[in-house]
Chains A and B, each alone.
Chain A
Amino acid sequence: KAGVTQTPRYLIKTRGQQVTLSCSPISGHRSVSWYQQTPGQGLQFLFEYFSETQRNKGNFPGRFSGRQFSNSRSEMNVSTLELGDSALYLCASSLVAGGPGTQYFGPGTRLTVL
């Protein structure tokens, strides 16, 4: 079974621009979660989607948004990029939402904001 895929793998943007990252979960997985990883803050939860509905949201500004499609693929969008948004963005999928749903991670998208 193919793992979680994320595109693109690397992105370079300038301040003020917006960016869209994509995540395709493992086949059959209906839950997708997004995390931001930085050296200073570690792994921080952004949001979780299950069956096209946002179930949980982390403590991030409204510039960060996401959505999930009927095929469980998910996108996250960051508008008006700031230097501090430079990070590794990880997507994880699981069969079910929360609880016993072990999360499997993709390779991440490395975003650099100049």
Chain B
Amino acid sequence: AQTVTQSQPEMSVREAETVTLSCTYDTSENNYYLFWYKQPPSRQMILVIRQEAYKQQNATENRFSVNFQKAAKSFSLKISDSQLGDTAMYFCAFISTSGNTPLVFGKGTRLSVIA
């Protein structure tokens, strides 16, 4: 069974600074997708970024980028120029391309951006 581990329950960062959230996963699959979702206090789960395992190039979305290390089964999220609106719970998630297993989430990292 796949597992996703987020080792940082809470983090804080000052506005305009950069922060990196860690995620590791365990799987025997070779083809899969990884995601970072953001859940602000409003509770709406929002997709931040997605990475296909077959792509070596790390995904980027504006201020958000990932460091995907397939051999190490590591998938960290870097937030540059942090903004107050980035304050949220961040969840790392995994799904196999086989389609036979559901999306698996980590426990989340609570990020606070401080003015």
Contact = CB atoms under 8 A, between A and B. Distances in A.
A59 B49 CA distance: 28
B105 A100 contact: no
A103 B105 contact: no
B5 to A, nearest CB: 12
B45 A48 contact: no
In this complex, the interface size class of chain B, counting residues with CB under 8 Å from chain A, is 20 to 34
A27 B50 CA distance: 21
Interface in A73-114: 88, 90, 92, 96-108, 110
A45 interface: yes
Interface in B83-107: 91, 95-107
**A contact residues, range:** 20 to 34
Contacts of B114: none
B35 A102 contact: yes
Interface of B: 33, 35, 37, 42-47, 50, 52, 91, 95-108
